[in-house]
Amino acid sequence: MTVLSNISSTRIWDASRQSREQRIAAGSAYASGKQVAPQDTTKLLEAVIRPGDRVCLEGDNQKQADFLAARLAEVDPSVVKDLHIVQSGVVLAEHLDLFEAGIAKRLDFSYSGPQGTAIARTLKSGKIELGAVHTYLELFSRYFVDLTPHVALTVARCADRDGNLYMGPNTEDSPVVVEATAFKQGIVIAQVNELVDNVPRVDVPGDRVDFVVVTPETFYVEPLFTRDPAQITDTQILGAMLAIKGIYAPYGVKRLNHGIGFNTAAIELILPTYAERLGLKGRIATHFALNPHPTLIPAIEAGWIEQVHSFGSEVGMDDYMQARPDIFFTGRDGSMASNRMYCQSAGLYATDLFIGSTLQIDLQGNSSTFTRDRIAGFGGAPNMGSDPHGRRHASEPWLKAGREAAGERTGLPRGRKLVVQIVETFSDKLVPTFVESLDSIELAKSLDLALPPVMIYGDDVSHIVTEEGIANLLLCRSAYEREQAIRGVAGYTDVGRARDRTTVEDLHARKIIQRPEDLGIDPLDANKSLLAARSIKDLMHWSGNLYDPPAKFRNW
């Protein structure tokens, strides 16, 4: 007991608080109250960040603290160095400039999107020490365990003089990042568009914010979920028809998540036309965990969709969402509130189906967006596209999928989430989607990664949809049947041509593989006449001109 008492009496129990106080004191030299002039931001960062710190720089997949990113890239590398960057999105060029300059050394992230090629190059050059490529929920969870930021650089639409932050529709990652940092004695710095007397609503309380910088320009938001209907192809429309008639209808899927892409945009745009003709209104696609895709507008206006909860917002959708509070989650100020952690949890546990696309699928159904020269990250797809074994509430789609997977086996009833990959057999430039082995396997070897970056594991995938038809992997009873079912919808790729024709014909006879004609679908009917909107301008008209599309999508 004496030894323990001595240890207790000599240990410092508030070292993190003392460090915070020292950092605040150093940073206050460049602040008036909480407000810091834009031209002093780099000096502020040099004052409060220590070498080796874990720093979260937002860095979401849409909303960017771009001013703070640029100022962080300007710090003196002899003062601020060897940072461990823990942020969901590596989206801006400045995010990678940190590693090129030696300011940052280690990286844990989820999504890289437009920087996918550059991050692959930087990794191969040895300038990034990679921790892991996470799902969003995984990274957010680790903020509260072993990747807690010492400094968080966040972004908001406005702040008041007490530091209360208003995010508007793009709340996104900010609350979870700020909470993890502030309650573990970290420093929170916010970039805002303006300082106001009273914020419209408090998304982050001011007592969690240490410094505020009013920037010369508004922060950047990527219109990540906008798809121009004019770019949707007949093949994508065919895939949408197959998904609706071959999966949504027989399972009665109401609660779901759509991934990003033209394939799912096509589904959204033929709900008020093709699905309406099938008499499916009210029976499918009523509740979404989904960003406010502009291509949802016709289905909302036609009375198909009852509710949408969002990970983030989408450029140009603010007025439309404010005018549709019965559909979206809106605050007392009228604007929508998004939250990526809440919506990821909803998509994981509260939906019955995920449908999304990918760059490569192998013979076991494993998929990845990592190729030899591109590391796009995962985002939320591994959470959405997985069967959560912790689920304990039943629904008919979930139970039906579970019965199919179980077959003749007996035991406790157990459901299955429907996880659908909808792809074309050849992607851009005639690159085959189906491969014998994922590029990510070789990438892992070349970068000495302990875990190959697989986006969705094959044993979670229930169905694969291509222009050739649908493969229901739940009904396969062996690894060989599963492989042949995948080959059976892989078309004229090398994988498809290597099919065992006898086995594939047997799988077709057992309805494990269904062709368009089996579902009464004529591929010649798959054309743009089925789209409820055929252009961005059509989406505006559907919205009553409440939708205000970004300039780059205005081609009239």
Of 507, 470, 510, 475, nearest in space to 404 by CA: 475
Min mean pLDDT across 151-160, 405-414, 455-464 is at 405-414
Could you read off the pLDDT of 414-432 as tens digits, one per residue?
A: 999 999 999 999 988 899 9
Mention every residue, 6+ apart, whose C-beta is less than 8 A from residue 519: 242, 245, 246
Inter-residue contact 311 to 340 (CB < 8 Å):
yes
pLDDT at position 428 is 81
27-to-21, 65, 152, 212 alpha-carbon distances in Å: 10, 19, 14, 11
pTM of the model: 0.95
Report how far residue 349's alpha carbon sits from residue 352's, in angstroms, rounded to the nearest whole number: 8
Q: Where are the beta strands (DSSP E) in 436-512?
A: 463-466, 469-472
Span 142-148, mean pLDDT? Answer: 98
| Tokens at 317, concatenated | 């959708």
DSSP 69: H
Could you read off the pLDDT of 334-381 as tens digits, one per residue?
A: 999 999 999 999 999 999 999 999 999 999 999 998 887 788 888 899
pLDDT at position 375 is 83
pLDDT at position 14 is 95
Of 534, 301, 229, 257, nearest in space to 422 by CA: 257
Could you read off the pLDDT of 490-545 as tens digits, one per residue?
A: 999 999 999 999 999 999 999 999 999 999 999 999 999 999 999 999 999 999 99
Top CATH class, 17-214: alpha beta
Q: At residue 443, does pLDDT exceed 90?
A: no
pLDDT at position 114 is 84
pLDDT at position 445 is 87
Q: Among residues of the chain, what percentage have pLDDT more than 70?
A: 99
3-state secondary structure of 31: strand
3-state secondary structure of 89: strand
Look up tokens 């399972």; give the residue: 251
135-to-10, 111, 123, 219, 332 alpha-carbon distances in Å: 41, 8, 19, 25, 31
Look up tokens 């703070």; give the residue: 68
Could you read off the pLDDT of 114-143 as tens digits, one per residue?
A: 888 898 889 888 999 999 999 999 999 999
Which residue(s) pair with 463 in the sheet? 420, 472
- What count of other Cβ atoms lies within 10 Å of the Cβ of residue 478? 8
Span 234-262, mean pLDDT? Answer: 97
The number of CA neighbours under 13 Å toward the Cβ of 237 is: 24
Q: At residue 95, does pLDDT exceed 90?
A: yes
Domain ranges of the chain: 17-214, 229-537
pLDDT at position 9 is 72
Q: At residue 8, does pLDDT exceed 70?
A: no
Min mean pLDDT across 61-65, 300-304, 442-446, 524-528 is at 442-446
pLDDT at position 377 is 84
- DSSP β-ladder status, 370-371 and 418-422: unpaired
Same topology between domain 17-214 and domain 229-537: yes
DSSP 38: G
Report how far residue 297's alpha carbon sits from residue 308's, in angstroms, rounded to the nearest whole number: 12
pLDDT at position 152 is 98
Span 28-36, mean pLDDT? Answer: 98
Could you read off the pLDDT of 80-92 as tens digits, one per residue?
A: 999 999 999 999 9
pLDDT at position 450 is 87
Q: What is the dihedral of CA 245, 246, 247, 253, to 10 degrees?
A: 30
Report how far residue 549's alpha carbon sits from residue 314's, in angstroms, rounded to the nearest whole number: 9
| Tokens at 43, concatenated | 């000096």
3-state secondary structure of 217: coil
Span 275-281, mean pLDDT? Answer: 98
Of 202, 125, 211, nearest in space to 167 by CA: 202
Inter-residue contact 463 to 472 (CB < 8 Å):
yes
Report how far residue 428's alpha carbon sits from residue 67's, in angstroms, rounded to the nearest whole number: 34
Min mean pLDDT across 63-72, 197-206, 240-249, 405-414 is at 405-414
Q: At residue 1, does pLDDT exceed 60?
A: no
Q: Is the peptide bond before 390 cis (omega within 30 degrees of 0)?
A: no
Q: What's the CATH superfamily of 229-537?
A: Glutaconate Coenzyme A-transferase (3.40.1080.10)
Burial class (CB within 10 angstroms; exposed 0-12, middle 13-18, buried 19+) of 510: middle
| Tokens at 522, concatenated | 């004529």
At residue 61 the predicted structure's pLDDT band, cuts being 50, 70 and 90, is confident
The type of residue at 457 is Y
Of 59, 60, 62, nearest in space to 314 by CA: 62
Of 111, 91, 61, 225, nearest in space to 455 by CA: 111
3-state secondary structure of 75: coil
- What count of other Cβ atoms lies within 10 Å of the Cβ of residue 198? 10
Report how far residue 44's alpha carbon sits from residue 258's, in angstroms, rounded to the nearest whole number: 41
Mention every residue, 6+ apart, whose C-beta is less than 8 A from residue 15: none
DSSP 197: S
Q: What is the mean pLDDT of the chain?
A: 95
DSSP 185-196: T-EEEEEEEEE-
Helix axes 479-488, 501-509, angle to 10 degrees: 90
Q: At residue 305, does pLDDT exceed 90?
A: yes
Of 88, 95, 90, nearest in space to 70 by CA: 95
- What count of other Cβ atoms lies within 10 Å of the Cβ of residue 456? 25
